[in-house]
Structure 1
């Protein structure tokens, strides 16, 4: 039997990978949803540990996740539908069919930020401190969640024969562009496409960003600093990786990838935010030193 998924230059072959994890009362439960759910759960565990480490109420974070996760999923779907409107305007009945696929991480982040702002306002919490704490859990969720794309045979890049080149059986992959189809690989009568595993690149990139946050948290100077580093780090990686993908959402009637535009906005905006807040912190520190000097005299 030929492998269904094959990292050809790494010698890794997977002979069977079903999209369906299990069945409940006649309803298929897909691995994609299971992996996303596990990512959210593990992300919450890490977030609660960080909240406890910094002396915050863990109950607040549990309540926030219960509310914001629902809103984030809705926004993730809304974002996908808006930028795929050419299809959904003729298939209105499929707009809410999330089981058929179609959610976007940037939509989920927008939903999380908006719901977080509202919840923090109501509960009288410092949004930036909360955002710093959640940054760790969000990254964990993204690192794990991207493997749902692997199971679904989606979110891949163009043709490559690089070290991480991945072969999918052609008939099992989704949204295959012409330039990839032009280079189909035939192995013993089985046709494969050979592509960049962009889901893997993003997962590995996010591990790097997470490590940076764990290292930098010991040197945190002000609330919002870790959040800004997360958005800058993720934005840089997403801009690069999005350029490889073959299934990008585009701004209407253009060839501009919306995720790359948002990535640029995030990187520029939060770089400016970091510069401004760092200067404010330095000015406050200099003033404290001056006052202490005056007190000594």
Structure 2
């Protein structure tokens, strides 16, 4: 029993994977890179199954990375400005952690809308192909929080728990050693959402009529946000707007948009508004 207890106690080995002179490879950056590469390959594979040119997804990936990562950082910095006001040069130190997935999603959506418009590709078709890759990337990326000893929850004495070194503990909690491993909760939740989206994708390939375009992304919005809503309530480092947790507010908004979109598709039986019409769309 003691062995099982120890296996459920998570202790970060530190943020640095490899260091040789000025060369430093951090777990956080490596995991982001892995998430991007895995996501690109998965979205291309799904595009082929949907009879969409996979090269479009490779081109889109460049736009998404250029937009999503800086927006994720700027979103975080905007709500944590007091940490960076004294030394703004730290804003670019993304390898030290401090990005917000909601900022990445908003930046990525803006880039995808522009890309779809310029390439004359339906936005919702792209969104459906990106959604499974996005949530899988989130599954991988959450482990960066583990290595950085950040984004943890309240103190806990449950068998599963995360050891936080004294230097990373919040003020007033220096006497607590173990906290909720919210990185793990969200990573497992994201993995379950990924399984749901992938199951719907392949089920739709053999269904007549198939799922309507935009369904997968809307399901992603609702299912991911439901998990983030309750997990965020455990965290001690939430981005705040006064007394309100920003991530919970955004999650509620995403749930509402997702539900409205699904009702629009299936109750009203209408296509989602898009940046291009079917007549304007270029051949895949």
CA contact (8 A) 1:8 1:167 kept: no
Correspondent of 1:227 among 213, 217, 236: 217
Correspondent of 1:87 among 83, 87, 95: 83
Q: Based on CA coordinates, which of the two structures has the bigger radius of gyration? A: 1
Q: Which residue of 2 aligns with 1:257?
A: 245
Q: Which residue of 2 aligns with 1:210?
A: 194
Deviates more, 1:110-119 or 1:41-50: 41-50
- Per the normalisation by structure 1, the TM-score is 0.82
> 1:241 aligned to 2:237?
no
* Rounded Cα–Cα distance in structure 2 between residues aligned with 1:224 and 1:260: 23
Alignment root-mean-square deviation, CA: 2.3
Q: Which residue of 1 aligns with 2:155?
A: 159
* Rounded Cα–Cα distance in structure 1 between residues aligned with 2:12 and 2:265: 51
Q: Which residue of 1 aligns with 2:66?
A: 70
Instruction: Give the alignment of 1:101-116 within 5 angstroms.
Output: 101-116=97-112
Shift of 1:250: 0.5
Quick one: structure 1 residues 212 and 168, their matched pair in 2 at CA, closer, same or farther if it must change by over 3 Å? same
Quick one: structure 1 residues 15 and 79, their matched pair in 2 at CA, closer, same or farther if it must change by over 3 Å? closer
Quick one: structure 1 residues 8 and 228, their matched pair in 2 at CA, closer, same or farther if it must change by over 3 Å? same
> 1:33 aligned to 2:33?
no
Shift of 1:70: 1.6
* Rounded Cα–Cα distance in structure 1 between residues aligned with 2:8 and 2:132: 30
Deviations 1:187-246 (A, max 9, x none): xxxxxx111000000010011111111222224421110000000001110011000011
* Rounded Cα–Cα distance in structure 2 between residues aligned with 1:244 and 1:93: 31
Q: Which residue of 2 aligns with 1:286?
A: none
CA contact (8 A) 2:112 2:123 kept: yes
Gaps of 5+ in 2: 205-209, 272-284
Gaps of 5+ in 1: 1-5, 185-192, 284-297
Instruction: Give the alignment of 1:1-297 within 5 angstroms.
Output: 9=5, 11-12=7-8, 17-23=13-19, 26-171=22-167, 174-178=168-172, 180-182=173-175, 184=176, 193-217=177-201, 218-219=203-204, 220-251=210-241, 254-281=242-269
Matched positions, count: 264
* Rounded Cα–Cα distance in structure 1 between residues aligned with 2:10 and 2:23: 26
Quick one: structure 1 residues 162 and 14, their matched pair in 2 at CA, closer, same or farther if it must change by over 3 Å? closer
What secondary structure, in the 3-state scheme, does the structure 2 residue paired with 1:181 have?
A: coil
CA contact (8 A) 1:175 1:247 kept: no
Quick one: structure 1 residues 90 and 26, their matched pair in 2 at CA, closer, same or farther if it must change by over 3 Å? closer
* Rounded Cα–Cα distance in structure 2 between residues aligned with 1:18 and 1:195: 17
Shift of 1:42: 1.1
CA contact (8 A) 2:18 2:26 kept: yes
- Per the normalisation by structure 2, the TM-score is 0.86
Shift of 1:166: 2.2
What secondary structure, in the 3-state scheme, does the structure 1 residue paired with 2:163 have?
A: strand
Structure of greater relative contact order (alpha carbons < 8 Å, 6+ residues apart): 2
Quick one: structure 1 residues 8 and 110, their matched pair in 2 at CA, closer, same or farther if it must change by over 3 Å? farther
